[in-house]
C-alpha cells in the first residue's frame, strides 16, 4: 500500500499558547472526521507547545524539531529523546539546514541524533541538501553522497528503514524557488542507488524519501509523486493548517488512484 507523508515544520513560529491553541482548533476543524489511509501528517511545533498537541485527530502525529543525542544528564538546554517519547512524540526532525547553520550541527552530530532517536523509538526525519554555491558548482551529487555516507555510517539495515530522509536543497528553503521535477527525480535515483550500495536494494526500496523547500499545494504533484518522492516537508505553508489538510487530501486521492 502506497504511503505518503506531509511533515509540517512550524519552526520558531506561534508565539503564545493561545496561538498554538488557535492553530490546533483550525487543524481539528479542517480534518473533521475524515479518514486517511495513505497519508500521515506530522506536525512539528516548538517544544514549548508539544503538550498542547496531545489529542490530534487520527492520521496526524506529533513531531519535534530537534533532540539531543544523550538520554539524560548535565546537558543544559537540551531535550532528551526519552522526554520526547514520554510526551507522545513519534517523529523528530534532525539536521535541518537551519540547525546546521545557526547551531553548527555537523553530519557526525546529526548521525548521533538520528541513532539516538531510533534507539528510543522515535522516527528521525533526517535532512540533507546542497547550498546554492554547491549547486552552481555542479557538486550536488557529491555533497549528497558525502552527507549520506557520513549520516548512515554504522547503521544496520533495519535502522536505516526506520529513517525518513528529507531532501531539502538549501537554496529552495524560504525562497519560492524549487527544483524541477526532473532534478528531484534525479536526486531520488541517486539516493536509491546510494542506499542500495550501502545496504541493499530491498532496504533502499523501503526507505521513505521526502522533498522539502518552498512546498506549496499548487505544485505539490510536481515535487512529490511525479518526482518519485514519498511526501513533503513543509515550512511556511504549514503555518496554515487548512493548506496541510488540503495537501493530505491530494496525497490520499493520488494514492487511491495508484
Ligand atoms: P519553506 O517551505 O518555508 O521553504 O521551508 C522549508 C523547510 O525548511 C521545511 O523544513
Q: Which of 228, 212, 199, 98 has the alpha carbon at shortest distance from 166?
A: 212
Q: What is the pLDDT of residues 109-163, one digit of tens each?
A: 999 999 999 999 999 999 999 999 999 999 999 999 999 999 999 999 999 999 9
Give catalytic residue positions.
Answer: 96, 168
Of 114, 43, 49, 31, the residue nearest 87 (C-alpha) = 49
Whether the Cβ atoms of residue 41 and residue 253 lie closer than 8 Å to each other: no
Dihedral angle, C-alpha 173, 88, 205, 193, nearest 10 °: 40
Residue 200 CA to ligand 1 centre (angstroms) = 31
All cell numbers assigned to 151 = 549520516
Number of domains in the chain: 1
Q: What is the largest CA-CA distance in the chain?
A: 52
Q: Coil, strand, or helix at residue 148?
A: helix
CA of 9 to the centre of ligand 1 (A): 7
pTM of the model: 0.97
Query: Which atom of ligand 1 is found nearest the CA of 238?
Result: 2
Q: For ligand 1, atom 2, name the residue with the nearest CA.
A: 235
How long is the chain? 258
Reported as a single tens digit per residue, the pLDDT across 9-57 is: 999 999 999 999 999 999 999 998 899 999 999 999 999 999 999 989 9
Q: Which domain holds residue 237?
A: 4-257
- State the closest ligand 1 atom to the C-alpha of 214, by its place in the atom list counted from 1: 4
Query: Quick check: helix, strand or coil at residue 147?
Result: helix
CATH number of the CATH domain containing 145: 3.20.20.70
Beta strands in the chain (DSSP E): 4-9, 39-44, 60-64, 91-94, 123-128, 164-167, 208-212, 231-234
Amino acid at each position: 500500500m502506497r504511503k505518503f507523508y506531509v511533515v509540517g515544520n512550524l519552526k520558531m513560529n506561534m508565539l503564545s499558547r493561545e496561538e498554538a491553541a488557535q492553530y490546533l482548533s483550525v487543524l481539528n476543524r479542517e480534518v473533521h472526521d475524515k479518514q486517511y489511509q495513505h497519508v500521515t501528517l506530522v506536525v512539528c511545533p516548538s517544544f514549548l507547545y508539544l503538550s498542547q498537541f496531545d489529542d490530534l485527530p487520527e492520521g496526524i502525529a506529533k513531531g519535534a524539531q530537534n533532540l539531543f543525542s544523550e538520554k539524560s544528564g548535565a546537558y543544559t538546554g537540551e531535550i532528551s529523546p526519552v522526554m520526547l517519547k514520554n510526551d507522545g512524540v513519534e517523529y523528530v526532525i534532525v539536521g535541518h539546514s537551519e540547525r546546521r547553520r545557526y547551531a553548527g550541527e555537523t553530519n557526525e552530530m546529526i548521525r548521533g541524533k538520528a541513532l539516538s532517536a531510533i534507539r528510543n523509538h522515535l522516527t528521525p526525519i533526517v535532512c540533507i541538501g546542497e547550498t546554492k554555491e554547491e549547486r552552481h558548482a555542479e557538486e550536488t551529487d557529491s555533497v549528497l553522497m558525502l552527507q549520506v555516507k557520513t549520516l548512515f555510517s554504522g547503521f544496520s539495515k533495519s535502522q536505516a528503514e526506520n529513517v525518513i530522509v528529507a531532501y531539502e536543497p538549501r537554496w529552495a528553503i524560504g525562497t519560492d524557488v524549487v527544483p524541477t521535477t526532473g532534478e528531484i527525480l534525479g536526486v531520488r535515483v541517486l539516493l536509491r542507488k546510494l542506499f542500495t550500495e550501502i545496504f541493499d536494494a530491498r532496504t533502499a526500496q523501503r526507505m521513505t524519501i521526502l522533498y522539502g523547500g518552498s512546498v506549496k499545494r499548487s505544485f505539490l504533484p510536481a515535487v512529490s509523486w511525479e518526482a518519485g518522492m514519498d511526501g513533503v516537508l513543509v515550512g511556511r505553508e504549514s503555518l496554515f493548517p487548512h493548506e496541510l489538510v488540503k495537501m493530505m487530501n491530494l496525497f490520499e486521492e493520488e494514492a487511491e488512484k495508484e
